[in-house]
Structure 1
């Protein structure tokens, strides 16, 4: 017995759902530029950022979250390990997300549109939080007692003086877009593929979480808030389902029923008697009725009964 299995088509992506390349490039580049300019506009607010850091630190202790320093202590056991963590933080975040979008654009256009909308919504919400809630990361907060691994061991993407850093806003720790984007990449690839190993994509956000915390760039709450915002974006933007999905054997799934794709090797459609030698013969077809004038037979005359005698014989 052959079981039909739905899976995305790798050879023939739905090009009708693919938006124009130039328009998408300009749109994504414009969104990224607006985000970078927004982060720079939110730079400064040093006193407020450190005050918020104290509030976040106290809240984490109230919630009994594990200390970020425990993760950093594991990385500091090896200089090679901490250097690899710094490299991962600096070099994987943007390229991995860009490659994710490019692959979806060419191979899974419907998933691309969904992923781009979710990422744009997440990033816009993060920018609002950066403006409203500046936050100094653990590497700057003395109470955390953590090492700025980027400055000490390298490499780093930040300047030595956060208040005057023109390349990045170092007081934009809440939420962690490193974690939010990594979770989106993993979820998007799991949704767009059917490999039995696709669950391994979750290693990317898990490793990213350990890196951002171990390098003292983010608090646990930064990651929690990022995932919460992403969940809201998932609830707002639903992944569209195409009208027909490719199934094994060349058929399609339509309305919950399997339709054979044709060909000598195609499996018989559901309900077909092909390939079943013990199946009973089909019932004879009913005679075809040709419309025409109806012939109504004349009624047969019935005998009239004689009346009964009016009196009895004496």
Structure 2
């Protein structure tokens, strides 16, 4: 796609239009690192809104029940059949989210540079929009909401990436909506389906499906967090 025909909206490269040059590595590293630091700093700005976060959590919980969505606890009950299973889910939540997205971008950069530029733009748009929502709508996760009656599986069974909310200075635990765990996982799957031609490429959709079960089952997200992330990704694609 040449400069004259490139639309403002991010869209996947089209076949048969040649392979664009790979973006300079140093520039991309600085760009991605800068975007990450802006996001982490922005999340910290959203901390300290405890009352709003719990008020919004009760609204989301009650709204889901009014919509007759399944209780998140029904998913968690599947994990609590064995310590090994719930610990595996906690590990997946803690260890797969960021490395999988980085590996996805690195592979695209090396093997599919045109798709890399597209995917990076989409991820940046989704993450930026998510930051705005985190600032406007702080939300405590189900594991903190007494009405949900769910177990904080990471705290009880380990491993956990979070400290006590009152003293955790490394993360914003009131940034449940939208779920970037799910949004990024879905983008990884969509990107790999678009960028590859194997008949087995649709199996990449198992990644967001497993992520969905993990983030809900570990009481880190509500169903509506997933809906919000999916909507943002749909708008960015």
TM-score by length of 2: 0.92
Q: Which residue of 2 aligns with 1:270?
A: none
Q: Does 1:74 align with 2:78?
A: yes
Matched residue, 2:56: 52
Equivalent position to 1:41, from 42, 45, 53: 45
Root mean square deviation of aligned Cα: 1.4
Aligned pairs for 1:259-298 (under 5 A) are none
Cα separation, 1, equivalents of 2:200 and 2:15: 15
Q: Encode CA deviations 1:264-300: one digit per residue, 9 max, x unaligned.
A: xxxxxxxxxxxxxxxxxxxxxxxxxxxxxxxxxxxxx
Matched, 1:92 2:88: no
Deviations 1:115-141 (A, max 9, x none): 000000000000000000000000000
Give structure 1 stretches of 5+ with no counterpart: 1-6, 235-314
**Once the 2 structures are TM-superposed, how far is the Cα of residue 17 of structure 1 from its aligned partner?**
2.8
Distance in 2 of aligned mates of 1:105 and 1:163: 39
Kept in 2, the 8 Å contact 1:100–1:185? The answer is yes
**176, 195, 199: which one aligns with 2:198:** 195
Offset at residue 108 of structure 1 (A): 0.3
Structure 2: 5+ residue runs without aligned partners? 1-13
Structure showing greater radius of gyration is 1
Aligned length: 223
Greater relative contact order structure (CA < 8 Å, 6+ sep)? 2
**In 2: Cα distance, 1:226 partner to 1:151 partner:** 25
What is the 5 A alignment of 1:96-245?
A: 96-160=100-164, 162-234=165-237
Q: Deviations over 1:164-212 (max 9, x none)?
A: 3101000000000000000000000000000000000000000000000
Question: Which secondary structure state, in structure 2, belongs to the residue aligned with residue 164 of structure 1?
Answer: coil
TM-score (normalizing by structure 1)? 0.70
